[in-house]
Amino acid sequence: MPTTAWQKSSYCGEGEACVHVATAPGTGTIRLTESADPRRVILSAAPAAFRTLIHTLKETPDHG
């Protein structure tokens, strides 16, 4: 069974809660998780929806 290769966000500082992103093996679905979530919830998104999210975050100066 293939394993998921998670990539930590480049905006994550040392010791902070971090967003991790991966593709679901064999499906191309984008997966997101947050390291501080005790339930370890994994969100799934279609590549087009993930692209829209990233574009919106980059174009919106104050999103957090």
Q: Looking at the predicted structure, is the pLDDT value of residue 6 above 60? A: yes
pLDDT in tens, 10-64: 878 766 678 899 998 888 899 999 988 888 899 999 999 999 988 998 888 775 5
Alpha-carbon torsion (20, 23, 39, 58), positive or negative: positive
Q: Which residue has the higher pLDDT, 5 or 63?
A: 5
pTM surpassing 0.85? no
User: In the chain, what is the greatest distance between 2 CA atoms, to the nearest angstrom?
Assistant: 41
Q: Which one-letter DSSP state was computed for residue 16?
A: S
- Is residue 31 within 8 A of residue 4, CB to CB? The reply is yes
SS3 58: helix
The confidence score (pLDDT) of residue 5 equals 84
The confidence score (pLDDT) of residue 64 equals 54
